[in-house]
Amino acid sequence: MAGRVSGRRKDREQSPRRREIVRLAARLFAQRGYLGTGMRDIADAAGILGGSLYHHFPSKDVLYLEAHGLALNEADAKIREEIGRHGDPWDRLRAACITHAEIQCDPVSVTANLMSDLRFLSPDLQKQVIGQRDEFEQLYRNLVGDLPLPPEIDRSIYRILLLEQLNTIPSWYRAGRLTPSEIGVQIAQIFHHSERA
């Protein structure tokens, strides 16, 4: 399906053990950050020797990229599943906002933390990570492209602002007055524009 993050087919073909290691690595990268996570940490968490880990993943960059791709792939699949239940463009956007907010606020989700600052990544790794994110954002390009927006609204700016709101929820969200789902509804309502200005 167009817009899926690179590596989805590769992930399906991976052995269960390799997928387990990638998931463990994603959790560690999310908790400790790129710089705070070493290959030895990942090997210890997986219960294998460091040399064995390098047999599967030649570098930390390769493992980070795979973990990042896994997080985006899982988010992509969940959002697509929910929007697939709706035909109306605004209902599809609402479903995407709700699901995205739930993913971002889920304490066991690694997506939010893996989407953090890229400054500590090498230029080459930054480029590849940004490429994965661009592929993920194709989902929102399609959603926004289908909306009956007023002609004066720039769809690219609309999409960027929408994603900015959804992706920064973890930085300010505190459990209490609104649930993540309700926050998703609020964001969808704020971004709902009629065709007439």
pLDDT digits (tens, 9 = 90+) for 55-79: 889 999 999 999 999 889 999 999 9
Asked if the model's pLDDT at residue 8 lies above 60, the reply is no
Asked if the model's pLDDT at residue 5 lies above 50, the reply is no
CATH number of 8-190: 1.10.357.10
122 Ramachandran zone, left/alpha/beta (phi>0; psi -120 to 50) = beta
pTM of model > 0.85: no
**What pLDDT score was predicted for residue 112?**
65
d(CA 195, CA 192): 10
Asked if the model's pLDDT at residue 7 lies above 60, the reply is no
Mean pLDDT of the chain: 87
Of 115-119, 132-136, 188-192, the least confident: 115-119
